[in-house]
């Protein structure tokens, strides 16, 4: 990498982390955790229950930027961007937490420091993915053995971490991966790196379970970057088998893009944002169960301006069809003082009621962000205003998507606030938000062929008497109260997976796709 290219990469990384707010101070002290439960109600919504499950204290992690993932053992797993056991390093952690708030640190990054670089990786800023083998996979923004460009890692249920790839950066492969991985139907993992690659502006890559990484696409391959640049969001595999994602910058107007890419690397730009319909998308898309369209957020742009918003324009919620027709559903900061929130950095998750749930980084009644619900027809309801407790002990500035647990409750993180005193603005929290939705089951993975093994994740599965794939009975084994193993039966068709338990019939939250 040339000196000029290195300088450019450093400037880009500095600008990106400043714009996206992906850095936090390290933490060193540990104080007692707090458990805060708040029942709230709004005129337009039934009562919700918000609970602070854990306040980070520095030694157990700090600044969780990422969302959580529910594992087949029923616990939730996540990462913190800094803190951990290795004092004096940027570090970060991997943790698991039970739905009742018992947290365990599984790994502290920067266990090996050579020439001021954490060779095992540092600053994990994204959610983990639990693969079909039961292990977890993720990325770190920095560290590794290749010039501090970030890593891809695997961690087992026994907490053994393996670095699968250290990014080399320009021009060999990508650098600064700040997006989660997705395991596609071919068993490989796919992701994005925000910088470097042959053009210097990020990549889409594939990595096999045996650690072989292939760069599938280099952004800004075209003059003027009409194909997008600096992707900071993860990918999602659509019903058609292609991957869909966003680039935070570039496009025909410079405000970012929505794209799709085949598993072999053919990229199509579906939409270029033009500021009025949104700008700077930083979160993954979600494909709706009902209509197959994708839903997402932009961190800036839209119809409303406010000086408190990082990009002046305060962000949007949008929907886009698989062929690229985009509709803006909601413009944030539509209310005086941005009490409806602004900068929906974390993106959306589809709830079992068919509505979408998310968080806004700023705005709200206290200026520290919100949790919200939006219907497919664009009606938005603020469910919770962060920093409603003294000293923001309930958390502030959520940068992460919510996840709906199979008990029906939503779980998330805040990057600041909480009762921990080691960080100037609090070290962040893990919280739950109940909106009175019922339990369901989740399949891991969400698509497979006849005869393939599928894990079913749920709550209170002991005593289950039947499993069916869109009405076709399947042979199954109850492994635990949270897990069933089964195989896709002959003649099965795509649709809901259902499990009959002593407590009633549970259906999957997503359609299971039976693939050839």
Task: For residue range 205-241, list pLDDT tens digits in order.
Answer: 999 998 999 999 999 999 999 999 999 999 999 999 9
In 3D, which of 326, 359, 328, 331 has the Cα closest to residue 345? 359
Q: What is the pLDDT of residues 383-414, one digit of tens each?
A: 999 999 999 999 999 999 999 999 999 999 99
- The conformation of residue 291, written as its DSSP 8-state character, comes to T
Structure tokens at 243: 């991957």
Which residues, 6 or more positions from 104, have their beta carbon under 8 angstroms from its beta carbon? 95, 96, 97
Q: How far apart are the C-alpha atoms of 103 and 95, rounded to whole Å?
A: 7
What pLDDT digit, counting tens, does each position of 94-153 carry? 999 999 999 999 999 999 888 888 999 999 999 999 999 999 999 999 999 988 999 999
Q: Are 26 and 91 in contact (CB under 8 A)?
A: yes
d(CA 173, CA 196): 7
Confidence of residue 490 (pLDDT cuts 50, 70, 90): very high
Q: Which residue has the higher pLDDT, 300 or 7?
A: 300
Instruction: Report the share of the chain in percent with pLDDT over 70.
Output: 91
Report whether CATH 3.90.550.10 matches the domain 442-514: no
- Please tell me the distance from the alpha carbon of residue 41 to that of residue 49, in angstroms, as a whole number: 9
Across residues 340-359, what is the average pLDDT? 97
Structural domain spans, the chain = 34-434, 442-514
Three-state DSSP at 159 gives coil
**In terms of CATH architecture, what is 34-434?**
7 Propeller (2.130)
Contact call for residues 79 and 139 (beta carbons, < 8 A): no
pLDDT of residue 46: 56
pTM of the predicted protein model: 0.91
pLDDT value of residue 236: 97
Task: List Cβ neighbours of 33 (8 Å cut-off, separation of 6 or more).
Answer: 54, 55, 57, 101, 103, 419, 420
Q: Are 204 and 190 in contact (CB under 8 A)?
A: yes
- Distance from C-alpha of 70 to C-alpha of 456, rounded to nearest angstrom: 12
**DSSP labels for 224-260?**
T-TT-B---S--EE-TTS-EEEEESBBSSSSB-EEEE
pLDDT in tens, 442-461: 999 999 999 999 999 999 99
């Amino acid at each position: 990498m040339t000196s000029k290219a290195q300088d450019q990469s450093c400037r880009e990384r500095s600008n990106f982390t400043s714009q996206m707010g992906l850095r936090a101070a390290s933490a060193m002290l540990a104080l007692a955790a707090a458990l805060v439960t708040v029942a709230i109600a709004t005129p337009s919504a039934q009562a919700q229950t918000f609970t602070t499950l854990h306040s980070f204290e520095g030694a157990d992690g700090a600044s969780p930027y990422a969302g959580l993932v529910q594992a087949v053992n029923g616990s939730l797993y996540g990462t913190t961007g800094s803190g951990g056991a290795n004092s004096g390093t940027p570090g970060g952690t991997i943790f698991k937490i039970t739905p009742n708030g018992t947290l365990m640190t599984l790994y502290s990054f920067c266990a090996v420091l050579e020439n001021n670089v954490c060779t095992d990786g540092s600053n994990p800023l994204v959610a983990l993915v639990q693969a079909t083998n039961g292990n977890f996979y993720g990325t770190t923004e920095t560290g590794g053995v290749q010039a501090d460009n970030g890593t891809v890692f695997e961690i087992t249920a026994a907490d053994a971490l393996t670095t699968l790839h250290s990014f080399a950066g320009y021009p060999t492969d990508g650098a600064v991966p700040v997006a989660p991985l997705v395991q596609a139907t071919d068993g490989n993992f796919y992701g994005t790196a925000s910088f470097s690659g042959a053009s210097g502006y990020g990549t889409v890559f594939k990595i096999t379970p045996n650690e072989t990484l292939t760069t599938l696409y280099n952004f800004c391959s075209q003059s003027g970057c009409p194909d997008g640049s600096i992707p900071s969001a993860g990918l999602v595999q659509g019903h058609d088998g292609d991957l869909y994602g966003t680039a935070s910058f570039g496009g025909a107007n410079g405000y970012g893009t929505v794209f799709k890419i085949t598993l072999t690397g053919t990229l199509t730009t579906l939409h270029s944002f033009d500021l009025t319909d949104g700008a700077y998308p930083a979160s993954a898309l979600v494909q709706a169960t009902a209509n197959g369209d994708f839903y997402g957020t932009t961190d800036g742009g839209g119809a409303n301006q406010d000086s408190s918003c990082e990009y002046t324009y305060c962000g949007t919620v949008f929907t886009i069809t698989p062929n690229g027709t985009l509709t803006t559903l909601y413009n944030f900061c539509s209310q005086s003082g941005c009490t409806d929130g602004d900068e929906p950095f974390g993106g959306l998750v589809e709830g079992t009621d068919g509505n979408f749930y998310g968080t806004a980084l700023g705005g709200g009644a206290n200026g520290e962000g919100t949790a919200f619900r939006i219907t497919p027809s664009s009606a938005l309801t603020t469910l919770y205003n962060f920093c409603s407790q003294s000293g923001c002990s309930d958390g502030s500035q959520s940068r992460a998507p919510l996840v709906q647990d199979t008990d029906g409750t939503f779980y998330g993180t805040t990057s600041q606030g909480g009762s921990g005193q080691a960080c100037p603005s609090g070290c962040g929290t893990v919280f739950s938000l109940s909106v009175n939705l019922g339990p369901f089951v989740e399949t891991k993975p969400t698509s497979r062929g006849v005869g393939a093994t599928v894990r079913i994740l749920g709550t209170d599965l002991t005593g289950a008497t039947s499993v069916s794939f869109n009405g076709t009975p399947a042979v199954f084994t109850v492994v635990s109260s949270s897990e069933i193993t089964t195989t896709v039966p002959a003649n099965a068709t795509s649709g809901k997976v259902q499990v009959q338990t002593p407590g009633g019939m549970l259906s999957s939250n997503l359609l299971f796709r039976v693939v050839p």
